[in-house]
Amino acid sequence: MSVPTSPSVWAPAAGSVDLLLTGPGTAVPLEPDGAGWWRLPTAAEPVADGADYAFAVDGGPARPDPRSPWQPAGVHGPSRAVDPGLFAWTDAAWAGRDVRDAVVYELHVGTFTAAGTLDAAIERLDHLTDLGVEMVELMPLAAFEGTRGWGYDGVCLYAVHAPYGGPAALARFVDAAHSRGLAVCLDVVYNHLGPTGNYLEEFGPYFTDTHHTPWGRAVNLDGAGSAEVRRWICDNALRWLADFHVDALRLDAVHALVDDSPRHVLTQLADEVAALAAEVGRPLSLIAESDQNDPRTIAPAAEGGVGMTAQWADDAHHAIHALVTGERQGYYSDFGPPAVLAAALTRVFVPDGGWSSFRGQPWGARVPAGTDGHRFVVFGSDHDQVGNRALGDRPSARLDPGALAITAALVLTSPYTPMLFMGEEWGARTPWLYFTDFADPDLAEAVRTGRRAEFATHGWAELYPDQAVDGELTVPDPQDPETVSASRLDWDEPSRPEHARLLAWYRELIALRRTSADLGSGDRDATTVRWDELGDWDRAQDASWLVVERGATRVVVNLAADERRVPLALTGDAQVLAAWVPVVLDGGDAVLPGRSVAVVGPA
C-alpha cells in the first residue's frame, strides 16, 4: 500500500493531465489508461522520494495530489513524494492490541505539549504507560489549512499535517508507542472535507448532490464514479494501518456517510481491514462515532450490520455528567435521574427506541442481550464534550474533587471500554477550546458567527451568566492564537498535590480494572444499579447515594454533601478495594463521607 514513486491520478473527465515537477520546472504529460486514471509514461523518470510535484488538469493551476502523502508547504502547495518503506521500524515484535477493553487515551497533538508536535508527544508516552493506558488515540492528522485546528477540517487526507512533523514523525511516534506496549488509534474523517484547500472536484466526482450532510454536499459513495471514491477512502484507511503500523482507526460521524448502495462503504472497509489483519498477523480495529444509537453499527453484515469493531457511546458520558453537575440544557435534557444512569450503564443507549425530548421523536434501538459491553467506548470527557462547551471548560473547572473521583470511578469500572481525554487524569485546569487558523477573513468571521449561534441554542448563557451581555454569550475567538495557547496542557500541574491525588486515583482504578475479574468483564447482564429513592434526583446537589453492582463487586457513590450509610447487598465479608477517602464497612453497609466513592468486594 506504499505511495508509488510514479504518481498517478484519477481524473475520469479530464482531456489532459500534466505532472508538474517543481524542482526542474518541467511538465510531464500523463497518459490515460482508459479507466479514468492518468499515469506516468513508461519511459519517464519516476519521482524520487522527497521530491515535490503537483498535477494540472486540462491546463489548469497546479493542484496537490488527492493522495498526497505530505504537504510541507501547506494544503495549497505541491505534494511531496514519500516512500514509507524507508522508515526505520523497530516494532517487528509488536503483536498488536484490540480496542475492546483497552484503556484508551485521546489526545490532540497540537495542544498535548508546548511544542505541539508528534516528536514532543513521544516524550510524554511514559506518563501514559505509568497511568495504565493501553491505546493512544490521536485526533485527526490529515493536513488542513494553517497551523492550528482540531483536525476535522482536513483536506489532504493522505498527508500528515506538516506542523505536527509530517509522515516520518508519525512513524516515529507509532514505533515509540509500540516499544512501550501502547497501541495507536488514528482519528480519520471521511464524511466531509474542510472548507478551504479542497480541490478534489477538479479531478473527479468526489461529491454528490443526491445526499447532503451538516457540512453540505455528501461524499459520493453510491453515484457515478463512486467506486473510485470508495477506493480512495478504503486505500487511505489501509495505508495508515499497513504503512504506518497503526492499530485502530476511529471513524468520525459515520452517520454522515450516506450510502444507498447494496454494500455500505463501512462494510467494504470492515472486510478489507479484516483481510489486512489476517495478512499482517495482528488485530486491527475500526471504531465508529455515530449519533444514531443503533447497534447495527457493530453487527456483522450477515446480521444486517456494517461490521465495526466498536463504537463510541456518548450516552454514558451524558448520564454521568448530568448526574454529577446538575446540568440539563441542550441534549442533557434527556439525562440526569439515576434511572437514566442505570440505563446507560446496562443498556448502552439512552434512549434505545424510546422518546427523546431533545430530538422531539423516538430515537435509537435496543442493544441485543449478550452483546459484549467492551464493544462500546465510553468516557467522562472527550474533545467534543469539552471543546464544544462555550468556554471549553473541563469538569475540573466546575466540580469538586470528589465529583471528579466519582466520574472516574463510574467510567473506569463500567462494563464498557473506557477512554480518557488528555489531562483529565490529573484534573487539568486548562480549558480546551475550539480554534481555527483560516486565512480567508470572511470564512474566519463565518466560523465566529456560527459558534455564537450554536451556543445560543443550548442555553449556555444561563450556565455562564458572567460571560453573557444582554443575554448573548461572549465566547473566545477561534481565530485568536491565544485561544489555542490557553488550550495547551500545563505539565507542571500533575506534580501539584491537588492534581497528584486525582492522578493516583486514576492509576489505582485502572490497575484495579485489570486485577478484578468483575470490573474487567464486559457482561452487561452482570451489571445493575441501585439508588436511594428518597433523594431528589432532579437536582444533583440534593442527590443521595447509588451503588453499581458489577458481579460481586460494588462501586459505592455518595453524591450528598454529608455522610451516608449505603447498603452493599453483599453476602459474607467485604473489603475496600479502593476508596477516594477512608470508608468504614459496618454490618453489611458502607459508611461514606460526603462527595466520595469507593469500590468494595468480597473479602
Catalytic residues: 252, 289
Residue 253 is labelled as binding a ligand: yes
The three-state (H, E, C) secondary structure of 441-488, written as one string: HHHHHHHHHHHHHHHHCCCHHHHCHHHEECCEECCCCCCCHHHHHHHC
Residue 475 is labelled as binding a ligand: no
Residue 252 is labelled as binding a ligand: yes
Q: How far apart are CA 14 and CA 73, in angstroms?
A: 26
Residue 384 is labelled as binding a ligand: yes
Residue 93 is labelled as binding a ligand: no
C-beta neighbour count of 472 within 10 angstroms: 12
Q: How far apart are CA 7 and CA 22, in angstroms?
A: 14
Buried b (16+ CB within 10 A) or exposed e, 428-467: bebbbbbbbbbeeeebbeebbeebeeebeebbbbebbeeb
Q: How far apart are CA 582 and CA 574, in angstroms?
A: 15
Residue 318 is labelled as binding a ligand: yes
C-beta neighbour count of 131 within 10 angstroms: 19
By the 10 Å C-beta count (0-12 exposed, 13-18 middle, 19+ buried), 475 is classed as: buried
Residue 388 is labelled as binding a ligand: yes
Residue 18 near residue 26 (C-beta atoms within 8 A): no
Q: How far is CA 157 from the centre of its chain?
A: 16
Residue 458 is labelled as binding a ligand: no
Helix axes 265-280, 226-242, angle to 10 degrees: 30
Please name the residues in contact with 249: beta carbons below 8 A apart, sequence gap of 6 or more. Answer: 185, 186, 187, 188, 237, 240, 241, 273, 285, 286, 287
Residue 315 is labelled as binding a ligand: yes
DSSP, collapsed to helix, strand or coil, labels residue 330 as helix
Residue 504 is labelled as binding a ligand: no
C-beta neighbour count of 42 within 10 angstroms: 7
Residue 314 is labelled as binding a ligand: yes
Residue 387 is labelled as binding a ligand: yes
Reading the block at residue 427, the C-alpha cell is 484534573
Residue 386 is labelled as binding a ligand: yes
Helices of type H across 17-165: 109-112, 118-122, 125-131
Residue 286 is labelled as binding a ligand: no
Binding region: 250-255, 314-318, 383-388
User: Binding site residues for substrate, as ranges?
Assistant: 250-255, 314-318, 383-388
